[in-house]
Structure 1
Amino acid sequence: MMELLKVDTVEQVMKKMEDYFKDLVLEGQEIHIADALGRILYEDVEAPLELPEFRRSTVDGYAVLAKDTFGASEGLPTFLNNIGKVEMGKSTELIVNSGECVYVPTGGMLPSGTDAMVMIEHAEHLDELTLAVYQSVAPGENVMQVGEDIQKGEILLKRGRKIKAQDIGALAALGIEKITVFERPKVAVLSTGDEIVDPFSKVQLGQIRDINTYALSAMIEEFGGEIVHRLVIQDEYNQLKEKAAEVLKDCHVLVISGGSSVGTKDVTAKVINDLGTPGVFVHGIAIKPGKPTIIGKTNHKAVFGLPGHPVSAIIVCKVFLGYLLDRLQAQEAGEHKTIYAAAAANIHSSPGKETYQMVILEDQNGEYLAKPIHGKSGAITLLTKAHGYIRIDTNKEGIEKGEKVKVVLF
């Protein structure tokens, strides 16, 4: 008699993952900032110095004592003696007294005694020494003060931040050459099935090109993971167990696609249980698509048994494996791009299941409409057409037309 799956809710699965995988951790590694784009910070980065390190002009113009310009206008200018200029990229020993000024280029250092900058457009040389100022400035105007950008010891970037191009610029500005990031989570992807074949070889009628190995590997790399093995093997117990035990030595997470339901040839759960303790702790989730998902742990390694149908496998990978990889890298769970849209039609859910509905987004008069698209879980083009998905909670009967929904973007 076929065994029935004892399903957990999505919330129960997340809680179990927190408990079972609490000892699964990643190490930190030091890298050069030139290689840091997209990596995840392992520890906070503190500013080793103030930025800027000197008072800096934000405009081309003249460094002045602001009080000397008070009341200046087009009809009644203030006259100052120009006593010199500051060279770009050089310090200055000039000292400015009341009634004097100094030319300073954008980014240049303000000389001692000055507290503001008059833009070059608001001043005019009457002769080599005399400058007419036609607009008043306030103290600090057009000037970046020492430490105004960041103070020494201030946290520049927090642990768990995914490094962006602008972050690398800030690190360079502070003279930080190397940072410590999380090592990439190492993941092996095995697809099982007697019918699954190399997508680039000659395919016989009845055979299916391997989709999941490539799609899941790409998604895992989007999550920051590193694919250390990517294989297709037959849906046979001894072969699957042998290969799984072999690749587990090199990875933090093993993903097995196919063989997760309770049919006679679905051996993934038995393999996970026999690889080591504690074995399978989730077999069946109240989710659509993806109900027969397996999650287990063997000797401090995480193992996921995903459905063989591509849509189901990719959704489960995004929701649950993505959650784990985020947690391992100290990122807030669910930190994915989302937008809000109005449902373009009534959307039904499956009773007792958390439903993930693929949608297409359309811009209508400046507002987004989310149009549901439907297809079988084996139809990979369902995902290529979709811009994202909406999640319908277990206890919600569905979405009404016009209702605001949150769309998680692919």
Structure 2
Amino acid sequence: MDFYKVLSIEEVKDIINSNFFLNLEKELINLKECNDRILYEDIVSSLNIPGFKRSVVDGYAVKCKDVQGASESIPSMMELKGEVTMGKMPSKALKFPGECMYIPTGGMLPEGADSVVMIEYTDKMDDSTILVNKPVSSGENVLDEDEDVELGEAVLKAGTLLKPYSISMLSSLGIIKVPVVCKPKVGIISTGDEIVSPEEYPQPGQIRDINSYLLYSSVIEDGGEPIFYGVIKDDYENLLETARKAIEECDVVLISGGSSVGKKDQTAKIIDVLGDPGILLHGISIKPGKPTIVGKVKDKPIFGLPGHPLSCAVVYRVLVRYLLQRMLKVEEVEYPIPCKFSTNYHKAKGREEYLPVTIENIEGEYIAIPVLTKSAAISGFTKAWGYVKIDKNVEGVLKDQKVYVYKFQR
């Protein structure tokens, strides 16, 4: 495959879609442990919720026709028949006209009642007489037995990212063991003679490992299980053996560094040797991140990511995250913030660019300010709130032009 015969992001995603069909298995996990996991299948309610008619206010359960026309000047006089106890079925029913029962918020509506008068619109004359000075309509201040959730309703769809509110729904249905998608195992390999671990003090010409930890934490954030295979020096045999082990043990493999065409760049050779079809593409029309490789070995995706941290981060977000979401059957909807661009910015035509920006609120308007940094630096991401995506067919952005800023992290 010829390097620099670059493909657009859309073309790359088409290649990913047509080559990888990875079906992850289901596992059942405890309700308390399912935050940030992906639901494997639709959850269909086996009951109505709340399951009984309940009051949504503190007040008095009545028949609406008994308080029709009630006002402060001519209140309706009601006979108090007792009160509803929370968590229990009412011991009495409203059998005759003019009867009422006190009911707390969440209490079960007694038989014969069809509505609740808020306590603010009542006065208590004595222990058995209540004056109602405002009418109610049938069903007012009452939650029907299936008004929250209906029997047979699909309350959560497969692919839902489980968060506190959806977990509370599972709890209300009595689901203690939750069917979730098994986490895809993502192997991470960093390469380069110049890379040392964070605990080491780098000598002249060396840098601490950034990409391994960037990728490791990103995979966790995206619902995967990262497996770190260490920093491998620019040694062909060692890298080949490590990559072969990662392919056997993981669902996806990420190799950071060595994806360009320098003398010591081994990633492309390694991917082609590991198995057919090998490299699917080498080079993407994106800035930063052009020297990116996507390969296929044993039906598994293997990425050669740029060694420069900012490039690595961009390609991960645009392509690797896209692949993981397809595997997990997640459809993430992004809601970018519309902003004015702070300055004129020129870019080369022909490459889609992901430009880190900060956001400031100036006189009620959001202003996107570019964070200008080279692809070898990670500071562009750490300083930025998000990024602006600039289409490959344009030559830049004008000052005060409307742009959309996407947040880097969830």
Q: Distance in 2 between matches of 1:251 and 1:337?
A: 32
Match of 1:369 in 2: 367
Once the two structures are overlaid, the 10-residue window that deviates more, 221-230 or 309-318, is: 221-230
Among residues 20, 23, 26, which one is paired with 1:25 in the alignment? Answer: 23
Match of 1:7 in 2: 6
Describe the SS at the equivalent of 1:270. Answer: helix
Q: Any conservation in 2 of the 1:360–1:371 contact (CA below 8 Å)?
A: yes
Match of 1:328 in 2: 327
Among residues 67, 73, 76, which one is paired with 2:71 in the alignment? Answer: 73
Match of 2:108 in 1: 109
1:135-214 to 2 correspondences below 5 Å? 135-214=134-213
Describe the SS at the equivalent of 2:380. Answer: helix
Task: State the Cα RMSD in Å.
Answer: 1.2
Q: Any conservation in 1 of the 2:247–2:297 contact (CA below 8 Å)?
A: no
Per-residue CA distance 1:342-374 (angstroms, 9 max, x = gap): 111122222111111111111112221111121
Among residues 36, 46, 49, which one is paired with 2:47 in the alignment? Answer: 49
Q: Any conservation in 1 of the 2:260–2:291 contact (CA below 8 Å)?
A: yes
Q: Any conservation in 2 of the 1:188–1:251 contact (CA below 8 Å)?
A: yes
Match of 1:258 in 2: 257
Match of 1:220 in 2: 219
TM-score (norm 2): 0.97
Q: Any conservation in 2 of the 1:55–1:144 contact (CA below 8 Å)?
A: yes
1:67 Cα deviation (Å)?
A: 1.1
1:338 Cα deviation (Å)?
A: 2.3
Match of 1:396 in 2: 394
Q: Any conservation in 1 of the 2:61–2:102 contact (CA below 8 Å)?
A: yes
Q: Any conservation in 2 of the 1:52–1:146 contact (CA below 8 Å)?
A: yes
Q: Distance in 1 between matches of 2:313 and 2:333?
A: 17
Per-residue CA distance 1:48-103 (angstroms, 9 max, x = gap): 10011000001111100011111111111000111111111001242213210011
Describe the SS at the equivalent of 1:322. Answer: helix
Once the two structures are overlaid, the 10-residue window that deviates more, 366-375 or 103-112, is: 366-375
Q: Any conservation in 1 of the 2:55–2:142 contact (CA below 8 Å)?
A: yes
1:288 Cα deviation (Å)?
A: 0.5
Describe the SS at the equivalent of 1:126. Answer: strand
Q: Distance in 1 between matches of 2:123 and 2:347?
A: 72
Q: Distance in 2 between matches of 1:360 and 1:130?
A: 65
Task: State the AA in 1 paired with 2:237.
Answer: N
Q: Any conservation in 2 of the 1:228–1:250 contact (CA below 8 Å)?
A: no
Task: State the AA in 2 paired with 1:388.
Answer: G
Match of 1:61 in 2: 59
1:82 aligns with 2:119: no
Task: State the AA in 1 paired with 2:288.
Answer: P
Task: State the AA in 1 paired with 2:168.
Answer: G
Q: Distance in 1 between matches of 2:44 and 2:177?
A: 12
Describe the SS at the equivalent of 1:259. Answer: coil
Task: State the AA in 2 paired with 1:52.
Answer: P
Q: Distance in 2 between matches of 1:62 and 1:369?
A: 54
Q: Distance in 2 between matches of 1:356 and 1:348?
A: 13
Q: Distance in 1 between matches of 2:334 and 2:208?
A: 30
1:248-287 to 2 correspondences below 5 Å? 248-287=247-286
1:356 aligns with 2:354: yes
Per-residue CA distance 1:267-325 (angstroms, 9 max, x = gap): 10110111112111010001110000001110021101000000000110010001001
Task: State the AA in 2 paired with 1:396.
Answer: V
Once the two structures are overlaid, the 10-residue window that deviates more, 4-13 or 302-311, is: 4-13
Q: Distance in 2 between matches of 1:64 and 1:134?
A: 13
1:10 Cα deviation (Å)?
A: 0.8
Q: Distance in 2 between matches of 1:206 and 1:290?
A: 23
Q: Distance in 2 between matches of 1:336 and 1:28?
A: 27
1:404 Cα deviation (Å)?
A: 1.4
Describe the SS at the equivalent of 1:102. Answer: strand
Per-residue CA distance 1:222-278 (angstroms, 9 max, x = gap): 111111224101122111110111122221111000000011111101101111121
Task: State the AA in 1 paired with 2:28.
Answer: E
Task: State the AA in 1 paired with 2:67.
Answer: T
1:29 Cα deviation (Å)?
A: 1.1
Match of 2:230 in 1: 231
Per-residue CA distance 1:83-142 (angstroms, 9 max, x = gap): 111111001242213210011111000011111001112112211111111111111111
Match of 1:314 in 2: 313
Task: State the AA in 1 paired with 2:177.
Answer: K
Task: State the AA in 2 paired with 1:260.
Answer: S
Q: Any conservation in 1 of the 2:386–2:405 contact (CA below 8 Å)?
A: yes
Number of residues of Structure 1 aligned to a counterpart in Structure 2: 406
Q: Distance in 1 between matches of 2:54 and 2:363?
A: 46
TM-score (norm 1): 0.97
